[in-house]
Amino acid sequence: MTIIRTTPDGEAEGLVAELYHDDVRSLGHVATHTRVMAVNPEAVVAFEGLVRAVVAQLGLRRYELVTLAAAKGTGSAHCRLAHGSRVLSLGLATEAELEVVARDHREAGRVGILSPAEVAMMTFAETVSTHPAAMTEADSTALREHGFSDREIVDITLAAAVRNYYSTALQALAVDVDVPEQLSPGLRAALVPGL
């Protein structure tokens, strides 16, 4: 449990109140990670602006797939569960499809849930999150061979790096993991083995 003192709902003002309200509107409650990160609400707004800039070019499906792969690479239960839930709520995949993607995106490609380009993109994003210093031009070339433009390669990298930033902050601050109730036990286990 985090030791960070957060603003109680009734005392939230300004940007903090807006962040809380956004969560209540979209989730029905204020997420634990929102409470902690809202201690610096300006940073949350800047983070969200960066995410919007990347999504605008990359597209929502690609962004969410990159996010799931990057969060897997960092071992972030927070982001895997939150974005797994988001993928379902946006209708980007069925629960059965998402479970296969969460367990092994390469297998999801073999069975036709993901395109070869999406598999390559997720592999790249996971590597950004596990071994970025070991990456070479060959990693970007692999994406180019799947039809990604230079802009898309940069945006995939930014999406993974943005997720690494947020995941790392949540883990370092020992933020409690919120488990979305709408996720089945099988999907939860696929997203976060051992949960």
Instruction: Examine residue 155 and state whether it is found in any structural domain, yes or no.
Output: yes
Instruction: Examine residue 11 and state whether it is found in any structural domain, yes or no.
Output: no
Report how many domains make up the chain. Answer: 1
Range of the domain at 102: 60-191
At 123-159, the pLDDT tens digits run: 999 999 999 999 999 999 999 999 999 999 999 999 9
3-state secondary structure 132-155: HHHCCHHHHHHHHCCCCCHHHHHH
Q: CATH code at 166?
A: 1.20.1290.10
Phi, psi of 3 (to 5 degrees): -95, 0
Instruction: Examine residue 117 and state whether it is found in any structural domain, yes or no.
Output: yes
At 65-88, the pLDDT tens digits run: 999 999 999 999 999 999 999 999
Q: How far is CA 153 from the centre of its chain?
A: 17
Instruction: Examine residue 38 and state whether it is found in any structural domain, yes or no.
Output: no
Instruction: Examine residue 25 and state whether it is found in any structural domain, yes or no.
Output: no
Instruction: Examine residue 135 and state whether it is found in any structural domain, yes or no.
Output: yes
Closest CA to 129 of 166, 102, 104: 166
Instruction: Examine residue 18 and state whether it is found in any structural domain, yes or no.
Output: no
* Token digits of residue 161: 């790096």
Task: Indicate the DSSP class of residue 146.
Answer: T
Residues 69, 123: contact at Cβ < 8 Å? yes
Instruction: Examine residue 151 and state whether it is found in any structural domain, yes or no.
Output: yes
Residues whose CB is less than 8 angstroms from the CB of residue 75 and which lie 6 or more positions away in sequence, other chains included? 167, 171
pTM: 0.93
